[in-house]
C-alpha cells in the first residue's frame, strides 16, 4: 500500500529483524515493504545484544546474540547493495542505556560504522518495563515517581553522547499507566537536556498498536521538544515487514502540529534536514 500522496520520500529509522528473537520476517521483506510504501530510506536498528549482562544471563528473546552482531552488519550491507537503486539502507542499532555500563557500550559501538545510533531505555533497575510478562513491576512503583525516573534515565542516556536519536522517549506509558501529576515541567526539563546533548527524537508509531494507543512521544512532550529546539525523525519500530512505515501520516501530522517543518535523515552520523510533507 502506498502512503497517502506527499508522504512518500520519508525515512523509517526504527526497524527490527528476526535476529532480536521477537521480530518476524526476512530482512528483504522489510526492505520490499519500504520500497512499496515509497520510503527513500530504511534504517535497520535491531536490538543490540544485552551487553551489560554476563553472556549466560542474556534473554535471547530481547536482543541478538553477541556473535550475531557481525552477521547483522553484513546482512544490512548486503541489503544496501542489493536494493541500492530502489531505497537507501542505513545501518543502525537500538542500544539500551544502562547506567554504570557506559564503557562497555562505548567499546561495542566503536566497532562499526553506524549511520546513526538509536538510544533507548527498556530497563529500570533491571526491570524490563515494556515486557508484558513483567507487568507486575508497575505495582512496585508510584507511577509519578516512575515517570520521573524514566525521563531522568532518558536524559542521562542522551548526555552520554553515544546516541544520535532517542527511541520511544515515553515508553513508560506503553501499558496505559498515566501519571496523576502535571508533566509540563518534566517534559521541559527532558527536552532541554536533549537539546543540550544535541540528540534527535523519533516519533514512534508503535505506541498506536499498544494498550496506550498513542504515538511516542505524547503530543505535549513532542511540543516541548520542538520548543527546546530538538529535531525529530520517524520510526515505526517494525517487528514485522507489514509494520514498516505504518501510520506515518499520523506521525507527520503530529510533527506539524507540534511546530516542526522538517525531519532529520542521517548518514555516517551526520544529519541533514528534509521538509515534512504538507498536511
* Footprint on this chain of Fe ion (rule: CB under 5 A): 94, 120, 237
Q: Which is nearer to Zn ion, 14 or 226 (CB)?
A: 14
Peptide bond into 236 cis (omega under 30): no
Q: How far is the CB of 146 from Zn ion (least distance, A)?
A: 18
Question: Which residue has its beta carbon closest to Zn ion?
Answer: 237
d(CA 116, CA 132) in angstroms, rounded, equals 29
* Farthest CA pair distance, the chain: 51
Q: Which is nearer to Zn ion, 97 or 277 (CB)?
A: 97
Q: How far is the CB of 23 from Zn ion (least distance, A)?
A: 6
| DSSP code per residue over 6-38 | T--S-EEEEE--GGGSS--S-HHHHHHHHHHHT
Q: How far is the CB of 275 from Fe ion (least distance, A)?
A: 26
Q: Which is nearer to Zn ion, 251 or 277 (CB)?
A: 251
Instruction: Give the 3-state DSSP-derived string for 65-94, with helices as H, strands as E and coil as C.
Output: CHHHHHHHHHHHHHHHHHCCCCCEEEEEEE
Grid cell, residue 174, equals 506503553
Q: What share of the chain is helix, strand, coil (3-state, %, to 5)?
A: 40, 20, 40
The burial of 180, by beta-carbon neighbours within 10 Å (0-12 exposed, 13-18 middle, 19 or more buried), is given as exposed
Q: Which is nearer to Zn ion, 75 or 237 (CB)?
A: 237
- Grid-cell match 508522504, residue found: 7
Asked if 96 touches Zn ion (CB under 5 A), the answer is no
Q: How far is the CB of 93 from Zn ion (least distance, A)?
A: 11
Q: Which is nearer to Zn ion, 10 or 206 (CB)?
A: 206
Q: Which of 64, 58, 59, 210 is nearest to 130 (CA)?
A: 210
**17 interacts with, out of Fe ion, Zn ion, none, CB within 5 to 8 A per kind:** none
Q: How far is the CB of 114 from Zn ion (least distance, A)?
A: 16
Q: Which is nearer to Zn ion, 237 or 247 (CB)?
A: 237
Asked if 41 touches Zn ion (CB under 5 A), the answer is no
Of 108-167, binders to Zn ion (CB under 5 A) are 167
Asked if 237 touches Zn ion (CB under 5 A), the answer is yes
Q: How far is the CB of 16 from Fe ion (least distance, A)?
A: 6
CA dihedral 227, 278, 174, 199 (to 10 degrees): -40
d(CA 120, CA 47) in angstroms, rounded, equals 10
Distances from the Cα of 163 to the Cα of 173, 200, 206, angstroms: 22, 9, 20
Q: How far is the CB of 59 from Fe ion (least distance, A)?
A: 14
Q: Which is nearer to Zn ion, 61 or 185 (CB)?
A: 61
Q: Which residues of this protein are in contact with Zn ion, per CB under 5 A?
A: 167, 237
Amino acid at each position: 500500500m502506498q502512503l497517502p500522496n506527499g508522504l512518500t520520500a520519508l525515512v523509517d529509522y526504527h526497524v527490527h529483524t528476526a535476529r532480536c528473537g521477537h521480530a518476524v520476517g526476512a530482512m528483504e521483506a522489510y526492505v520490499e515493504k519500504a520500497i512499496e510504501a515509497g520510503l527513500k530510506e530504511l534504517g535497520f536498528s535491531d536490538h543490540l545484544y544485552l551487553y551489560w549482562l554476563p553472556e549466560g544471563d542474556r534473554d535471547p528473546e530481547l536482543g541478538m546474540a553477541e556473535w550475531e552482531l557481525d552477521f547483522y552488519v553484513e546482512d544490512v550491507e548486503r541489503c544496501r547493495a542489493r536494493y541500492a537503486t530502489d531505497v537507501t539502507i542505513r545501518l543502525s542499532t537500538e542500544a539500551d542505556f544502562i547506567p554504570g555500563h557506559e564503557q562497555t557500550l562505548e567499546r561495542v559501538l566503536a566497532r562499526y560504522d553506524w549511520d546513526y545510533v538509536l538510544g533507548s531505555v527498556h530497563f529500570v533497575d533491571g526491570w524490563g518495563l515494556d515486557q508484558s510478562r513483567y507487568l507486575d513491576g508497575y505495582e512496585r512503583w508510584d507511577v509519578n515517581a516512575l515517570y520521573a525516573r524514566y525521563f531522568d534515565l532518558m536524559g542521562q542516556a542522551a548526555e552520554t553522547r553515544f546516541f544520535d536519536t532517542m527511541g520511544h522517549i515515553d515508553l513508560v506509558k506503553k501499558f496505559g499507566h498515566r501519571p496523576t501529576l502535571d508533566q509540563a515541567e518534566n517534559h521541559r526539563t527532558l527536552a532541554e537536556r536533549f537539546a543540550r546533548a544535541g540528540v534527535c527524537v523519533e516519533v514512534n508509531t508503535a505506541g498506536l498498536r499498544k494498550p496506550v494507543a498513542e504515538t511516542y512521544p505524547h503530543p505535549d512532550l513532542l511540543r516541548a521538544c520542538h520548543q527546546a529546539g530538538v529535531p525529530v525523525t520517524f520510526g515505526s519500530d517494525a517487528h514485522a515487514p507489514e509494520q514498516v512505515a505504518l501510520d506515518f501520516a499520523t506521525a507527520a501530522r503530529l510533527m506539524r502540529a507540534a511546530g516542526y517543518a522538517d525531519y532529520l535523515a542521517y548518514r555516517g552520523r551526520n544529519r541533514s534536514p528534509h521538509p515534512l510533507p504538507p498536511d
